Structure 1
Amino acid sequence: MSPALALAIAGALIVLSVIIGVALRLADGRRRGGGHLRFDPVDASGALGPRATLVQFSTEMCARCPQVRRMLHTVASQEDDLAHVEVDLTHRPDLSSRYRILQTPTTFVVDGTGAVRARFNGVPHPHALTEALAAV
């Protein structure tokens, strides 16, 4: 293989890696629809809030989970009809496949009936979280 061809292939791989990294970074923390998922309150060993519940999926080794925990607790404490529960996937790995959790933190906005109305992978953007709660 010629040196020019090897450099061209290496350059193409670097460009492809940067594009994929930027795309993943832009998608992190954005609001997604909940699809047809329903959250079972038994999985969080607690009751759902009257209007909505912020369900945070985390693990013991998650570096960003404490930041999200503080943010969601603050948001939930500002409204009486809103609850925040945290599910540790370290102790409940079966839930990651049931709810299709591929990364932590992942946050669900669940309405009072258990329907997942919004989903955030990574650290939720505050304005997107506010919009999701307003839609419930």
Structure 2
Amino acid sequence: MNDQERTTSTSSNAEIRLTLLAEPSSVVLARELVRYALTAWNFQGDLVHDSMLVMSEIVTNAVAAARGSQIRLRCALQNQALLLECWDPCPALPISRVTTTTDENGRGLTIIAACAKEVGIRPAATGQGKIIWALMPI
């Protein structure tokens, strides 16, 4: 199920949400959600590219954790900051690991941390699952 949940926009606050299935093809849709939101909010260049990369890494983790389940994405401007979030129903936290240049996976959290101003994981308010978030420098 891929459906846009809500888009709001005011001069001080804007957000867009999307519910997707935790499948590899959803990573592309997550990147496009970020591109759409940021260009609509008149951002360009490195912020758009880095934010697309960060969201794709966050969603890749969600796909690995909860394949076949629904995930929820959110891209929001709040208090002069860009917030990227992904909820998945799996309570297990992603584990950061040391990788080598030949490893084909395992670099996602490192990439997110390198691009974002702040990164975090919090339990969902409903008590089900977790939200991985990144605050991007504007």
Provide the TM-score with structure 1 as the length reference.
Answer: 0.27
Looking at secondary structure, tell me which structure has more helix per residue.
1
Bigger radius of gyration: 1
Structure of higher RCO (CA pairs closer than 8 Å, 6+ residues apart): 1
Higher strand share: 2
| TM norm structure 2 | 0.27
